[in-house]
């Protein structure tokens, strides 16, 4: 009886404070699923009771993941078909995954190459990005959707520039200049993460050949990331928890896949974006990678892109 009593307190605590399934609780406590059912009840009943006050918790949420736009170097055909899809899909959230703006004029790589910066202005970069991307997407979507802006390594160029020129602190802050917080955007700091159900969305940290494996090894969870401009995934399943696998998935990019600075060198870059559909009550999600070829793709039985007669 003492052991049963000990189980009951642990089970009840986990059932009341987490969204763990009965099977997951049984593994943590070290008892059978039948014992968990006895003290905590059915998982669906328990979870439903927690969220009865919020019906939206049981409504599938639709999120579009927007990786590596690199404005003004975004691919025009790709963005046009994406925008058409965005209007049709009617998402509940947009997540800008970092490197929204290229910011070449303050790039370390262009520091001693003034010809590459000729005519460029930081304020113009901010304003043009706002006009061409943010405001276009705001007009295409409902006012009440969630909008998340992740700081990537290109936006972080501003921080590094201020470190070299501290007198400019607060004057070249992209969050302040674009009034992101005031406009309702959640701003995720550099190397931060944003949760979409049980999926962590980050900009990305690694650039090696097997970056998906490196990411899942380091994060030990389900991760979607950008940064590398090419799709890749890797699954890791624990031998002690075969039902709880983790996957890291890199997404394609929305920028020009043949940039001038590559000088016609081969790349592994691919255009595309991501879609996440998840259930808030449980965090369960599905992640879909959409590949865009020459500005065209298909989703849910509809074609997006250039005129089929021109193909």
- Burial label, 132 (beta-carbon count in 10 A; 0-12, 13-18, 19+): middle
Q: Are residues 11 and 100 in the same domain?
A: no
What pLDDT shows up at residue 1?
43
Helix or strand (DSSP H, E) at 49: helix 43-50
Of 18, 35, 50, the residue that ends a domain is 50
Packing angle, helices 22-29 and 2-17, rounded to 10: 130
Q: Give the side-chain half-sphere CA count within 13 A for 77.
A: 13
Q: What is the CATH number of the domain that holds 301?
A: 3.60.21.10
Distance of CA 64 to the CA centre of its chain: 8
227, pLDDT greater than 60: yes
Structural domain including 128 reads 56-310
- Does one domain contain both 108 and 155? yes
Contacts of 72 (CB under 8 A, 6+ apart): 102, 125, 128, 129, 132
Both tokens of residue 87?
């209007």
pTM of the model: 0.81
What is the domain count for the chain?
2
Q: Are residues 260 and 166 in the same domain?
A: yes
Examine the domain organization and report whether 114 and 195 are in the same domain.
yes
Q: Tell me, yes or no, whether 216 and 253 share the same domain.
A: yes
Predicted pLDDT at 15: 82
Same domain, 266 and 145: yes
> Do residue 46 and residue 173 come from a single domain?
no
243 & 101 share domain: yes
pLDDT at 280: 92
Instruction: Give the Cβ contact number of residue 266 at 10 Å.
Output: 6
pLDDT exceeds cutoff 80 at 260: no
**Strand residue runs (E) in 2-145:** 61-66, 93-96
Same domain, 95 and 119: yes
pLDDT in tens, 78-97: 999 999 999 999 999 999 99
What span, in angstroms and rounded, lies between the C-alpha atoms of 73 and 256? 6
Beta bridge partners of 194: 201
Q: Are residues 305 and 179 in the same domain?
A: yes
Which DSSP category does 185 fall into?
Answer: E
Of all residues in the chain, the percent with pLDDT exceeding 70 is 87
**Same-domain check for residues 145 and 162:** yes
35 and 115 in a common domain? no
- Strand order from edge to edge, sheet including 146-150: 185-188, 146-150, 93-96, 61-66, 271-278, 285-292
Q: Span 142-160, mean pLDDT?
A: 94
State residue 160's pLDDT score. 83
């Amino acid at each position: 009886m003492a052991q049963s009593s000990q189980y009951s307190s642990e089970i009840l605590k986990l059932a009341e404070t987490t969204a763990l399934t009965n099977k997951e609780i049984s593994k943590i406590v070290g008892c059978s699923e039948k014992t968990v059912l006895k003290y905590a009840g059915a998982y669906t009943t328990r979870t439903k009771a927690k969220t009865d006050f919020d019906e939206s918790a049981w409504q599938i949420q639709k999120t579009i993941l927007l990786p590596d736009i690199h404005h003004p170097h975004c691919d025009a055909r790709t963005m046009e078909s994406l925008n058409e899809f965005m209007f049709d899909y009617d998402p509940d959230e947009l997540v800008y995954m970092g490197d929204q703006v290229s910011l070449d004029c303050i790039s370390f790589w262009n520091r001693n190459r003034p010809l590459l910066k000729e005519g460029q202005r930081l304020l113009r970069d901010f304003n043009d990005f706002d006009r061409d991307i943010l405001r276009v997407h705001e007009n295409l979507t409902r006012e009440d959707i969630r909008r998340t802006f992740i700081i990537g390594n290109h936006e972080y160029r501003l921080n590094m520039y201020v470190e070299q020129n501290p007198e400019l602190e607060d004057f070249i802050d992209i969050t302040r200049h674009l009034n992101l917080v005031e406009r309702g955007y959640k701003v995720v700091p550099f190397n931060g993460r944003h949760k979409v159900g049980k999926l962590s969305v980050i900009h990305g940290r690694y650039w090696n050949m097997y970056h998906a494996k490196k990411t899942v090894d380091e994060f030990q969870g389900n991760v979607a990331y950008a940064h590398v401009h090419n799709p890749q995934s890797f699954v890791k399943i624990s031998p002690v928890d075969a039902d709880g696998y983790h996957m890291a998935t890199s997404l394609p990019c929305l920028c020009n896949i043949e940039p001038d600075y590559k000088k016609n060198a081969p790349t592994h870059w691919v255009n595309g974006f991501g879609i996440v559909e998840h259930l808030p009550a449980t965090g369960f999600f599905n992640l879909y990678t959409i590949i865009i070829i020459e500005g065209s793709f298909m989703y849910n039985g509809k074609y997006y892109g250039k005129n089929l007669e021109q193909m």
